[in-house]
Amino acid sequence: MSQASTARSLTRFLIEEKREGRINPDLRLLIEVVARACKTIAVAVGKGALGGVLGDAGTGNGASINVQGEAQKKLDVIANDVLLEANAWGGHLAACASEEMDEPFLIPDAYPRGNYLLLFDPLDGSSNIDVNVSVGTIFSVLVCPGDAQDVDTQSFLQPGTAQVAAGYCIYGPSTMLVLTIGHGTHAFTLDREQGSFVLTQRDMRVPDETREFAVNMSNQRHWEAPMQAYVGDLLAGSEGVRGNDFNTRWIASMVADVHRILTRGGIFIYPWDSRLGTGTDPCKAGKLRLMYEANPMSLLIEQAGGASTNGRERIMDITPTHLHQRVPVFLGSRAEVAMASRYHHEHDMARASRFNDA
């Protein structure tokens, strides 16, 4: 048999998963629609300056600002529109929520409403667009609780453990879709000539141990004490308590950093930071968004044998109170995530015992 005939397309993979009873027909079709939208976004990203898609969105009156208070790039807006248009009419969704939109987009009355909710960060890492560094789309799928006609913001406020699918598409030297439907994490590479995603890695595994960490070190002075202590010990290398030298990588595209970790291990950290709030306001508890970034990446990482916490608890156990809420993130190689959590637990216990003694 030729290689072409044995290659497993995303479509074939999903049909086989359906035969195994691991995915229902509506979710299968929804994932196909998202994958198709990602191909369209890949084309727009790939055109770069030739497509007139670089730079900030907005009118002559200044940059357009999203609900997160961040300046939108043209490609943020384009990617958001592509995902909405592709998903509006298929009949699988009740509503979409996006990092780029204040409120959920409810499927218009002109189309049938399905039972799924789709959440996405249409173009993650968009500060990298103008310098031609990898960016990506992150998505998460939930089941709509109750009647799809009554869907509202509250319908989305489910913990990450309720996700029925999650994935990202990375627009890098090659375009790859990394997907989980709760039975392992699998990678598909876009065959640009054929226009289809082809399964290139089944059951990705994150190595348990690592000597590589990813964090934006320029924020160090704003971190809390246990994070300072943990990274201090990583930086001390073989001369410190860890007894090993650690390497560092920071792409500033979560999709690209997580893709590296899924491929060769590591720990990705975007911690709480004193400029981001008191920690009691869920909209300011970190930089990354729970629903659009942390939850889908956590499911992908856990399905590949890794771990994901906010330093103190499993991210997917957090019940959201706000659609756009933020969360500190520590995810990747299981043993290293446990080590980072240990610094936080020991710090909290020491503080509690000082408080009790006082």
**Is the CB of 179 or the CB of 254 nearer to Mg ion?**
254
Q: What is the CA radius of gyration of the chain?
A: 20
Among 132, 153, 216, 353, binds ligand AHM (CB under 6 A): 216
Contacts of 180 by beta carbon, 8 Å cutoff, 6+ apart:
165, 166, 167, 186, 299, 300, 303
**Is the CB of 99 or the CB of 212 nearer to ligand AHM?**
99
Closest residue to bound Mg ion by CB = 124
Two tokens, residue 189: 């590479």
| Number of shown-chain residues binding ligand AHM (CB under 6 A) | 13
**Is the CB of 294 or the CB of 299 nearer to ligand AHM?**
294
The item of ligand AHM, Mg ion, none sharing an interface with residue 321, based on CB under 5 to 8 Å by kind, is none
Q: Does 126 bind ligand AHM (CB under 6 A)?
A: yes
Place of tokens 């939930």: 142
Min dist CB 184 to Mg ion, Å, is 24
Place of tokens 């191909």: 39
Compute CA distances 316 → 154, 298, 300, 307, whole Å: 17, 7, 11, 10
Contact 310, 329 (CB under 8 A): yes
Among 49, 63, 252, 349, binds ligand AHM (CB under 6 A): 252
| Number of shown-chain residues binding Mg ion (CB under 5 A) | 2
Among 14, 28, 124, 290, binds ligand AHM (CB under 6 A): 124
Place of tokens 């072409």: 4
Min dist CB 260 to ligand AHM, Å, is 12
Among 78, 93, 181, 254, binds ligand AHM (CB under 6 A): 254
Contacts of 45 by beta carbon, 8 Å cutoff, 6+ apart:
53, 75, 123, 129, 135, 171
**Is the CB of 33 or the CB of 276 nearer to ligand AHM?**
276
**Is the CB of 65 or the CB of 252 nearer to ligand AHM?**
252
Residue type, 299: L
**Is the CB of 222 or the CB of 242 nearer to ligand AHM?**
222
Min dist CB 125 to ligand AHM, Å, is 4
Contact 175, 195 (CB under 8 A): no
The item of Mg ion, ligand AHM, none sharing an interface with residue 330, based on CB under 5 to 8 Å by kind, is none
Residue among 294, 298, 356, 352 at smallest CA distance from 325? 294
Distance CA 266, CA 335 (A): 10
Compute CA distances 284 → 42, 175, 233, 317, whole Å: 31, 32, 27, 19
Min dist CB 254 to Mg ion, Å, is 6
Among 115, 140, 253, 341, binds ligand AHM (CB under 6 A): 253
Min dist CB 179 to Mg ion, Å, is 18
**Is the CB of 13 or the CB of 168 nearer to ligand AHM?**
168
- Interactions with Mg ion, residue window 74-133 (CB under 5 A): 121, 124
The item of ligand AHM, Mg ion, none sharing an interface with residue 42, based on CB under 5 to 8 Å by kind, is none
- Interactions with ligand AHM, residue window 28-87 (CB under 6 A): 70
Contact 226, 347 (CB under 8 A): yes
Min dist CB 148 to Mg ion, Å, is 27
Q: Which residues bind Mg ion (CB under 5 A)?
A: 121, 124
Q: Which residues bind ligand AHM (CB under 6 A)?
A: 70, 99, 121, 124-127, 216, 252-254, 270, 287
